[in-house]
């Protein structure tokens, strides 16, 4: 590689980092996906990860799609839903192609209310669906769907009214504070969820909504420790998107999995996916599930690692180890190791357990390939078959193949010797 | 010391630890001190630390007493208050003699609403006043007193109604969770405060109180990061008191400071104080204050260390280091060091950053003297003169002399050779 090219890459990555650091995510709305996601295509299910077909879909994502077809009323029974999904009449499209992200199967349809986060530094918007523990994992029982209906009919409209009355809620202050309270904002957003709930107490109280609706919403906010994950994912997407399309940048703008394939996207190669078979997650199982039940890695939630949270800040989130396994020293080592594969460190998102040093930020495909160190991601586990709720959580590394393919393509694209 | 005596001490300390571990603190009420503290004496100010006179009182505690005399309406100006306090007509009594504790100057008078925590395992109650940043540090301006009036007239009555409607709130679940969220529950109860606020949202919403009063209370709950300190102190006192008066026990039941003297109490020597000059705090100053402004160590808040929180769990609370100084490694070392001077470890209060090991519990005066290691306490700083709000925070160790005096008296009392 000539010195000139190397300088262009360094300059591009400096710009990549500048944009990531400048990100200023503000929650501006909660609304039906069909109303806010631009040009939402008809009869389409948006899903996590790179593109996928019904035939190649993982069990959890199939189950989640059955759930969404029923939720939208496109079919009246799981059997009808499966027939419809097999017929090819329902289109599938990655969330990432629509400024969106979704947890686990990640399924978003027009009636699903989503968080709307605007990056005030750049004006772009990002969307993420609400996090719950059942349908997004592939369960499609009436109970799993009732929870989605309650979200649509009771909780999300109340949150919409409260958030609009506030004129939006800046998320950066909550995220910086939560990182000092043992959150890593992916599997463990417990502090952020609690702080978010408190920030909404007065706006909800004074919303003018019926007391029963407010109480139900307080019940969600006060009792759902993973609630903020939908917001940290939307914030991550809002922060990452402006860093797309920088010529010569080797920075990663997305890591996403659909349970079949793991895919990454790279700033200087915008629009392309570099994929490999999704890896298996190593972790701990919830009661009733065991090794061998789990499907392959799934979800857009690795957008949190893409912007330096999640597995990258495990060293400051020792509380999560009871959920994903490992020791405090290993957790600190992960956070330090990620500096070897990133462009820089955040000046704003700090880890107290590392002496208030900034999070490792901006995954560089060159450094991943050169060091042989893939990013560390902590994640939940879905079942390999459709029809189950969450079954566990653990740690996972993306396949090296994604980064090698991307770097090879980068060499072709920019004519590197 | 004969083997027989040693065995009796070990048995006594085993019982001491058993009682501390069994403690089950439940917030049962918020009420005026005069209504709930048994036999509240007339014209008396309860204060932090061991007994003290007006003449020997520190600047901060004098200022706080001036504030309380004005708050109670016993005088109409600071000058009149000082004259009254100098006259000997106002009695001073330690909080610890009345099942109570108080932060910093710790002043409690009959009209001051206090948290009421019951230890459900033993039936005893403990009381602590609300934590704020001004009057308890010695400030007695109209603004400082208005905050106390708002607490008395608006906020505390709302909390009373909400807490009574819940039939009380168990504090152990909040405390265990907060310890996994980077709190140490003394200077940093930010997670516990947030979780406590979440737990009160529905009871306050449905309290039937005027919306303005509920909103003001939500404002307090959502915006006061130190709010839970009053609850962790009351919980600590409720947990520690049943461990008093165990013959032959060398366990510490209280550490408390009045800004002039540091005093400890010991289970097998119940009722006696072992005192020495209060130490200076080493720490960081808030803007506008500097080294040399600070008074000596003050407050009953070391009841949190007495039950194994506060400085003892600094290793799990790296977020506090920006406030009190030090490095994450030092913080972990403090938590490990405290095991050298305690009777055992808690099976319930766990520190994730130490691999989910239990907090060091039950300070043993023998071990403190033998190892030469005094307990570590993290604390706020008050000014040496009356009239100031909080000026900083830092770390402090009690004087060895307290423990040496106590051990000497223990030898006399139990006729140890």
pLDDT in tens, B277-336: 999 998 899 999 999 999 999 999 999 999 999 999 999 998 888 878 889 999 999 999
The reply to whether B336 touches chain A by the CB within 8 Å rule is no
Contact check, Cβ <8 Å, A328/B198: no
* Residue B277: inside a domain: yes
Same-domain status, B142 and B248: no
Same-domain status, B77 and B197: yes
- Mean pLDDT, residues A190-216: 97
pLDDT digits (tens, 9 = 90+) for A242-255: 999 999 999 999 99
- Mean pLDDT, residues B342-360: 96
Structure tokens at A365: 């495909």
CATH number for B262 = 3.90.1700.10
Domain end, chosen from B234, B263, B297, is at B234
CB-side neighbour CA atoms (13 Å) of A365: 30
The reply to whether B322 touches chain A by the CB within 8 Å rule is yes
Same-domain status, A200 and A271: no
Identify all chain A residues contacting B218, using CB atoms and an 8 Å cutoff.
198, 201-202, 205
Residue A121 CB neighbour total at 10 angstroms = 16
Split into its structural domains, chain A has a count of 2
Same-domain status, B179 and B93: yes
pLDDT digits (tens, 9 = 90+) for A87-100: 999 999 999 999 99
Same-domain status, A213 and A182: yes
CA distance A178 to chain B (A): 9
Kindly indicate the confidence band of residue B1, based on its pLDDT and cuts at 50, 70 and 90. Answer: low
Q: To which residue do tokens 């090819």 refer?
A: A88
Domain end, chosen from A191, A206, A233, is at A233
Same-domain status, A132 and A260: no
The reply to whether B190 touches chain A by the CB within 8 Å rule is yes
| Distance from C-alpha of A204 to C-alpha of A211, rounded to nearest angstrom | 10
In chain A, the residue whose alpha carbon lies closest to the alpha carbon of B315 is: A353
Does ipTM exceed 0.85? yes
The reply to whether A169 touches chain B by the CB within 8 Å rule is no
pLDDT for A3 equals 73
Strand partners, B392: B285, B381
| Distance from C-alpha of A152 to C-alpha of A72, rounded to nearest angstrom | 11
Same-domain status, B216 and B279: no
* Residue A17: inside a domain: no
* Residue B6: inside a domain: no
* Residue B17: inside a domain: no
pLDDT for A417 equals 59
Mean pLDDT computed over every residue of chain B: 96
Kindly indicate the confidence band of residue A317, based on its pLDDT and cuts at 50, 70 and 90. Answer: very high
Q: Kindly report the backbone phi and psi dihedral angles of residue A350, in degrees, each rounded to the nearest multiple of 5, phi listed first.
A: -115, 150
CATH number for A64 = 3.90.1710.10
The shortest CB-CB distance from B202 to any of A206, A215, A321 is to A215
* Residue B7: inside a domain: no
Same-domain status, A192 and A324: no
Identify all chain B residues contacting A190, using CB atoms and an 8 Å cutoff.
177, 181
Structure tokens at B95: 């909080």
The reply to whether B220 touches chain A by the CB within 8 Å rule is no
Contact check, Cβ <8 Å, A182/B328: no
* Residue A14: inside a domain: no
Same-domain status, A195 and A305: no
Q: To which residue do tokens 């050779």 refer?
A: B417
pLDDT digits (tens, 9 = 90+) for A47-70: 999 999 999 999 999 999 999 999
pLDDT over 70 at B138, yes or no = yes
The reply to whether B355 touches chain A by the CB within 8 Å rule is yes
pLDDT for B301 equals 98
* Residue A141: inside a domain: yes
CA distance B183 to chain A (A): 7
Residue B89 CB neighbour total at 10 angstroms = 10
User: How far are the Cα atoms of B107, B133, B176, B261 from residue B393, in angstroms, in the given order?
Assistant: 20, 12, 24, 19
pLDDT for A376 equals 97
Same-domain status, A65 and A177: yes
pLDDT for B326 equals 84
| Distance from C-alpha of B284 to C-alpha of A326, rounded to nearest angstrom | 35
* Residue A18: inside a domain: no
The reply to whether B221 touches chain A by the CB within 8 Å rule is yes
pLDDT for B417 equals 59
In chain B, the residue whose alpha carbon lies closest to the alpha carbon of A219 is: B202
Structural domain harbouring B120: 26-234
Listed in sequence order, the DSSP H helices in B226-266 are 229-240
Domain end, chosen from B234, B264, B279, is at B234
| Distance from C-alpha of B183 to C-alpha of A285, rounded to nearest angstrom | 28
Long-range contacts: A141-150, Cβ < 8 Å, 24+?
A: A141/A387, A144/A67, A144/A389, A145/A67, A145/A70, A145/A71, A148/A67, A148/A71, A148/A112, A149/A71, A150/A216
pLDDT over 90 at B140, yes or no = yes
pLDDT for B224 equals 93
The reply to whether B219 touches chain A by the CB within 8 Å rule is yes
CA distance A100 to chain B (A): 29
Structure tokens at A162: 């409260």
Identify all chain B residues contacting A354, using CB atoms and an 8 Å cutoff.
328
Instruction: Give the N- to C-terminal CA distance of chain A in Å, as an integer.
Output: 5
The reply to whether A191 touches chain B by the CB within 8 Å rule is yes
Mean pLDDT computed over every residue of chain A: 96
pLDDT digits (tens, 9 = 90+) for B154-195: 999 999 999 999 999 999 999 999 999 999 999 999 999 999
pLDDT for B319 equals 85
Same-domain status, A221 and A293: no
pLDDT digits (tens, 9 = 90+) for B196-247: 999 999 999 999 999 999 999 999 999 999 999 999 999 999 999 999 999 9
- Mean pLDDT, residues B5-24: 97
Q: To which residue do tokens 């007339």 refer?
A: B42
The reply to whether B361 touches chain A by the CB within 8 Å rule is no
Q: Global pTM? A: 0.95
Same-domain status, B228 and B249: no
């Amino acid at each position: 590689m000539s010195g000139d090219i190397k300088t262009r890459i360094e300059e591009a990555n400096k710009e990549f980092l500048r944009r990531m650091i400048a990100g200023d995510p503000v929650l501006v709305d909660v609304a039906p996906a069909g109303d806010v996601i631009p040009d939402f295509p008809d009869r389409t299910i948006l899903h996590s990860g790179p593109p996928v077909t019904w035939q190649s879909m993982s069990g959890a994502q199939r189950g989640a799609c059955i759930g969404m077809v029923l939720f939208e009323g496109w079919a009246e029974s799981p059997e009808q839903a499966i027939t419809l999904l097999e017929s090819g009449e329902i289109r599938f499209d990655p969330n990432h192609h629509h400024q969106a992200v979704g947890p686990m199967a990640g399924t978003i349809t027009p009636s699903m209310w989503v968080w709307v986060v605007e990056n005030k530094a750049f004006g772009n918007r990002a969307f993420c669906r609400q996090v719950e523990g059942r349908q997004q994992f592939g369960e499609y029982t009436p109970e799993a769907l009732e929870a989605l209906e309650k979200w649509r009919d009771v909780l999300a409209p109340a949150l919409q009214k409260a958030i609009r009355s506030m004129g939006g809620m800046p998320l950066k202050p909550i995220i910086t504070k939560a990182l000092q309270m043992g959150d890593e904002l992916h599997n463990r957003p417990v502090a952020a969820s609690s702080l978010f709930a408190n920030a909404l107490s007065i706006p909800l109280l004074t919303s003018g909504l019926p007391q029963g609706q407010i109480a139900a919403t307080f019940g969600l906010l006060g009792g759902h420790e993973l609630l903020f994950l939908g917001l940290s994912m939307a914030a991550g997407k809002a922060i990452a998107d402006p860093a797309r399309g920088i010529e010569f940048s080797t920075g990663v703008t997305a890591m996403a999995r659909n349970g079949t394939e793991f895919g990454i996207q790279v700033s200087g190669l915008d629009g392309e996916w570099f994929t490999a078979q999704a890896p298996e997650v190593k972790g701990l199982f919830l009661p009733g599930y065991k090794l061998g039940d789990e499907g392959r890695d799934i979800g857009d939630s690795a957008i949190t690692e893409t912007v330096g949270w999640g597995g990258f800040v495990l060293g400051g989130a020792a509380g999560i180890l009871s959920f994903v396994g490992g020791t405090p020293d290993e957790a600190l080592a992960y956070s330090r190791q990620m500096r070897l594969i990133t462009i820089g460190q955040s000046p704003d998102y700090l880890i107290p357990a590392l002496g208030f040093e900034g999070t490792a930020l901006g995954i560089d495909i060159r450094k991943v390939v050169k060091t042989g160190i893939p990013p560390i991601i902590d994640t939940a586990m879905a079942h390999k078959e459709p029809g189950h709720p969450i079954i566990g959580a653990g740690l996972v590394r993306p396949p090296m193949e994604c980064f090698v393919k991307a770097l090879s393509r980068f060499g072709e694209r920019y004519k590197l010797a």
